[in-house]
Amino acid sequence: MVSLKVYNWEVFERSMRRYVGFAVVIVTIISLSLFYKSWDGVNGIIGAVIVLMIVGGYLFFLSKANTETKMIIKPEGLVIGERLVPYSQIKGFVIEMDKTTLKLRNIVLVYEKTAEIYTLKDKKKQQEIFFSELSKIIPFLENYEQSGLDRLMRKLKL
C-alpha cells in the first residue's frame, strides 16, 4: 500500500492584502449599516445573520482546506481520508505544477463529470513513488477540461 499526504482540498497561497481586503469589506458593510440605521428591527437581524454567514463560511472553508489527509492505493480503490473511491469511477489523474518554481502543486482526480483537486503535502520522492504506482492502475492524463466557473473560481482563489 503506497500512500501520499495531501491537503483535503486545494490550498491557495493568499497574500495579506486579500485578508485585509476581506476585513475592510466586512467593516464597510457594518459601518454603512450603522450609518443608515438599518440595524433596527428585522433588518438588523437579517443583516447580522448575513455578515455572520459570510465570515463563518469563509472561516469554515479555510479550516477545511488546511486539513491534512492521506491518499492510499489499495486493490479495491483509492482511499482518500475515510472515503473509498473505486478505480472504475476515476477517468484519470493530472498533476499540476507551479509555473514559476516548477514544483508539483496539485493532484487532480478526473471523474466522468467532475474533478477533485488536492494540494500535495508529501516529499518529492514519495510523490514520485505514488504517481508511478497510480499510473499503473488509472491513466495519467496530459490535461483536463475545466468548466468556465472552475477556471474563474481558481483565478479568484476561492
Q: 23 with 85, same domain?
A: no
**Domain co-membership, 149 together with 73:** yes
Q: Are residues 97 and 78 in the same domain?
A: yes
Burial status of residue 134 (CB atoms within 10 A of its CB: 0-12, 13-18, 19 or more): buried
Specify whether 57 is located in the same domain as 76.
Answer: no
pLDDT of 55: 81
* Number of separate domains in the chain: 2
Cβ(105)–Cβ(119) below 8 Å: yes
For residue 57, the model assigns a pLDDT of: 81
Residues 83, 129 share a domain = yes
Same domain, 57 and 72: no
* Run of H or E residues at 24: helix 16-35
DSSP state, 36?
Answer: T
Q: Which structural domain range is residue 100 located in?
A: 3-10+68-155
For residue 106, what pLDDT is reported?
87
If asked whether residues 58 and 74 sit together in one domain, one would say no
Mean pLDDT by 10 residues, the chain (158 residues): 84 73 81 67 71 80 78 93 93 88 87 86 92 92 71 57
Which DSSP letter does residue 142 get? S
- Residue 17: the pLDDT is 83
Q: How far is C-alpha 31 from the chain's CA centre?
A: 32
**130 and 79 fall within a common domain:** yes
CATH of the domain at 122: 2.30.29.30
pTM above 0.85, yes or no: no
